């Protein structure tokens, strides 16, 4: 029985990935060729995507490709986090770690990184640096399921978060401050004075 499951799961996954990649490329292609139509589509989409679109039109095609790649990686991550929550696919995605999204600010005297790790157990948050790479990992809190609990929909990821961020050269990696509030981990790294 197990072997069958694996085989069919793999087939579905492959088909899904091909379709999904095709859709993403088609979607981004549409946005590049007709920007005006998409700006007026809906408030949510506008606010969420317009900031990315304005950065999409850089004069450097290589940069554009990098951005497209980053978007696809983010989408795949989101996909992984969802599949890990479905009981039929749980065996495949048992050891998966999800890369949390982050925002990184370049200020005059420091770098500020805000990582989205909602629902994490404070004691399990681990920040380390090694060779100029910042590594953030955490585990979500396990809520005790009581008897009689049934899930109608389960989309929120519970499991491990892991992200490695290469730091710029002028970041002082021995002097890192961090705080966790409202599901967001804020990391402040001072810059070296020249």
Partner 1 sequence: MDIVKSSNDITSKVENALSKTKEVFTNVVSHLPFANIGKKDSNTYNIEVDLPGVRKEDIELKIEDGYLRVSAKREFKKEVKEEDYYMIGSYFGEISRVFVLPEDIDKNKINAKFEDGRLYISLEKEESKKAKTIKIK
Residues that bind partner 1 (CB under 8 A): 4-5, 8-9, 11-13, 16, 19-20, 23, 27, 43-48, 51-52, 55, 74-75, 78-79, 82-83, 86, 88-89, 101-107, 111, 114, 116-120, 146, 148-157, 182-184
Q: Are 109 and 103 in contact (CB under 8 A)?
A: no
State the nearest-atom distance from the C-beta of 188 to partner 1, in Å.
Answer: 14
State the nearest-atom distance from the C-beta of 130 to partner 1, in Å.
Answer: 20
When the beta carbons of 30 and 51 are compared against partner 1, the nearer one is 51
State the nearest-atom distance from the C-beta of 62 to partner 1, in Å.
Answer: 17
Pairing between β-strand 110-116 and β-strand 184-190 as defined by DSSP bridges: antiparallel
State the nearest-atom distance from the C-beta of 128 to partner 1, in Å.
Answer: 20
Provide the 10 A C-beta neighbour count for residue 45. 12
Rg, Å, the chain Cα set: 20
Measured CA distances, 82 to 76, 97, 140 (Å): 10, 12, 15
When the beta carbons of 86 and 175 are compared against partner 1, the nearer one is 86
When the beta carbons of 101 and 128 are compared against partner 1, the nearer one is 101
- What burial class does residue 98 get, using C-beta atoms within 10 Å of its C-beta: 0-12 exposed, 13-18 middle, 19+ buried? buried
């Amino acid at each position: 029985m197990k072997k069958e499951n694996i085989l069919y799961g793999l087939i579905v996954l492959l088909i899904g990935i091909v379709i999904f990649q095709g859709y993403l490329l088609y979607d981004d292609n549409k946005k590049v060729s007709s920007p005006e139509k998409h700006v007026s589509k809906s408030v949510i989409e506008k606010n969420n995507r317009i900031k990315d679109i304005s950065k999409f039109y850089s004069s450097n095609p290589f940069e554009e490709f990098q951005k497209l790649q980053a978007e696809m990686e983010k989408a795949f991550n989101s996909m992984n986090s969802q599949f890990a929550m479905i009981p039929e696919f749980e065996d495949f995605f048992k050891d998966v770690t999800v890369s949390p999204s982050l925002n990184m600010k370049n200020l005059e005297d420091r770098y500020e990184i805000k990582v989205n790790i909602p629902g994490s157990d404070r004691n399990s948050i681990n920040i380390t640096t090694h060779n100029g790479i910042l590594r953030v990992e955490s585990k979500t809190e396990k809520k005790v399921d009581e008897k009689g609990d049934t899930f109608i929909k389960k989309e929120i990821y519970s499991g491990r978060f892991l992200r490695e961020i290469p730091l710029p050269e002028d970041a002082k990696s021995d002097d890192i401050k961090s705080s966790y509030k409202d599901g967001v981990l804020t990391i402040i790294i001072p810059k070296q004075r020249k």
